Chains A and B, each alone.
Chain A
């Protein structure tokens, strides 16, 4: 247990220090949301209608771009080999790493979403709904991304392939995230059903992600 908490604290510290890039994801999120009105026009009614979708897409892409920090940096400096050789189960170790990644990348996106909702003319109710769905959904994005990040490390290839592998797997999360947010704003579907599915997707990826990632690391790095 102490090894896992030490790993968590280490990853959190590395993320917030110079070169960690914890806040770059939020900056990217802000940029994506700023670019959309340039593309679709400054129509506030339209923006408030597609606002939840923009926020979800922005969070998805920001999360995706931060994924290469999740495992690859440990691989570069050799600490991944130590984690692989350590006595603690690899599944738990990668799960803790993903948790630290979510705390420094996913959670800031959730916190930033209400502020960005102001830019998109979302009312307080809609903003709350989007933030809540992001809170429930971004863990799924991180833990699904964990699988992609380990595959990429095992291949020693990165970049575009990571996006190609991870994005199809995140489609259900995006669908139900936006569906739940829209259900809360305009109805007529009750908010509970898609939101429950979204939570289920998060919980499922919480289980599947670390196991698949551990297999990918063991099989790919030998």
Chain B
């Protein structure tokens, strides 16, 4: 089955229905393993138990950026190939990405209070994540402004691609400004600076969150297709009455 076959919504729905139970099961299993690993991971010698917040904070930040990446790919699919599924994928990813970005901000804020002594600082990385969150809200607002889904998809795609320039700025802002937030720790030249006893549970939690995102995204895409069907049916019904 090639990508173009998935343009048929019925085929996509059939595939989604088959894949979703497996995805849900995989998500639950990896989450159970990851949470148990995170629970048994040692406390930090300075931060104590608050270091556990990292197991939610870092995956949420990763997904906040991944969701925009998915939206950007979908935006290319919309603008270049006019793939109908790309419209649905972009629309479905926006609220999920916004939710994970908000989760990243909230957990970071709760972590910052005991560690930095404040809920919020205007550091480069915090600021750019906040801007990312605002941009998610902007894209969602754009989707909710236009009634015709195909037109909304094309316009939102332009905004998404422009916003994609923002993601490298987030990634490297720590290196540019280097203020209160710590530098890149998991992925960097010369190996990770995190001890394996914490790094391994963290990577498992990142995998679990990514699976969660895939599950939610697929389910949201299915819902969006059904919502469009309902919309078409309602319009036909209105036509028949008129």
Segment from A73-81, A123-131, A164-172 that makes contact with B = A164-172
Q: Could you tell me if B135 and A168 are in contact, using CB atoms closer than 8 angstroms?
A: yes
Contacts of B220 in A (CB 8 A): none
Against A, the Cβ 8 Å flags (1 = close, 0 = not) of B158-176 are 1101110110010000000
A216 interface hit (Cβ, 8 Å): yes
> Beyond A154-B155, A168-B131, is A215–B138 a contact (Cβ under 8 Å)?
no
A219 touches B141 (CB 8 A): no
A155 lies within 8 A of B79 (CB) = no
Contact with A along B119-162 (1 / 0, CB 8 A): 00000000100010011011001100110000100110111011
Closest Cβ of chain A to B120, distance in Å, is 16
Is the pair A220, B155 in contact by a Cβ cutoff of 8 Å? Answer: yes
Q: Which residue of B lies closest to A147 (CB)?
A: B162
* CB of B132 to closest CB in A, whole Å: 8
A168 touches B134 (CB 8 A): yes
Provide a sorted-by-A list of 30 A–B residue pairs whose CB atoms are within 8 angstroms: A147-B158, A147-B159, A147-B162, A151-B142, A154-B151, A155-B142, A155-B151, A155-B155, A157-B146, A164-B137, A164-B141, A165-B138, A168-B135, A168-B163, A169-B162, A169-B166, A171-B131, A172-B169, A175-B127, A204-B165, A208-B162, A212-B161, A212-B162, A215-B158, A216-B155, A216-B158, A219-B154, A219-B155, A219-B158, A220-B154
A146 to chain B, nearest CB (A): 11
Q: Which residues of B contact A212 (CB under 8 A)?
A: 158, 161-162
Q: Collect the chain B residues with CB atoms within 8 Å of residue A216's CB.
A: 155, 158
Q: What B residues does A215 contact at CB under 8 A?
A: 79, 158
Question: Are A169 and B163 closer than 8 Å at their CB atoms?
Answer: yes
Bound Cα distance A171, B127 (Å)? 9
**B163 nearest in chain A by CB position:** A169
Q: Chain A contacts of B127 at CB under 8 A? A: 171, 175
- Chain B: minimal CB distance from A15 (Å): 26
A residues adjacent to B (C-beta < 8 A): 147, 151, 154-155, 157, 161, 164-165, 167-169, 171-172, 175, 204, 208, 212, 215-216, 219-220
Residues of B in contact, count (CB < 8 Å):
23
Complex: chain B residue closest to A175, CB-CB:
B127
A154: chain B residues at CB < 8 Å are 151, 155
From B127, B135, B155, B158, name the one whose CB has the most chain A CB atoms within 10 angstroms.
Answer: B158
Write the nearest CB–CB distance from A72 to chain B, whole angstroms. Answer: 15
| Complex CA–CA separation, A208 to B165 (angstroms) | 10
Cross-chain contact A161 with B155 (CB below 8 angstroms) = no
CA–CA, A196 and B136, complex, Å? 29
Closest Cβ–Cβ distance, residue B95 to chain A (whole Å):
16
Complex Cα distance A216/B135, Å?
Answer: 17
**Smallest Cβ-Cβ distance to A214: which chain B residue:** B158
In the complex, which residue of chain B has the Cβ closest to the Cβ of A179? B177
Shortest beta-carbon distance from B165 to chain A in Å: 7
Q: Nearest Cβ distance between residue B178 and chain A, in whole angstroms? A: 12
Other 4 A-B pairs with CB < 8 A, given A151-B142, A175-B127: A151-B158, A164-B137, A212-B161, A212-B162
Smallest CB separation, A39 vs chain B (Å): 20
B146 cross-chain contacts in A, Cβ below 8 A: 155, 157
Query: Within the assembled complex, what's the spacing in Å between the Cα atoms of A127 and B166?
Result: 31
Query: CA A175 – CA B123 in complex, angstroms?
Result: 11
The smallest beta-carbon distance between A160 and chain B, in angstroms, is 9
What chain A residues lie within 8 Å of B131 (beta carbons)?
168, 171
Chain A residues with Cβ under 8 A from B134's Cβ? 167-168
A155 to B142 CA separation, bound complex (whole angstroms): 9
Tell me the complex Cα distance, A121–B162, Å: 38
- Which of chain A's residues has its CB closest to B152's CB? A155
Are A165 and B145 neighbours in the complex by a CB distance under 8 Å? no
B4 smallest CB distance to A (angstroms): 21
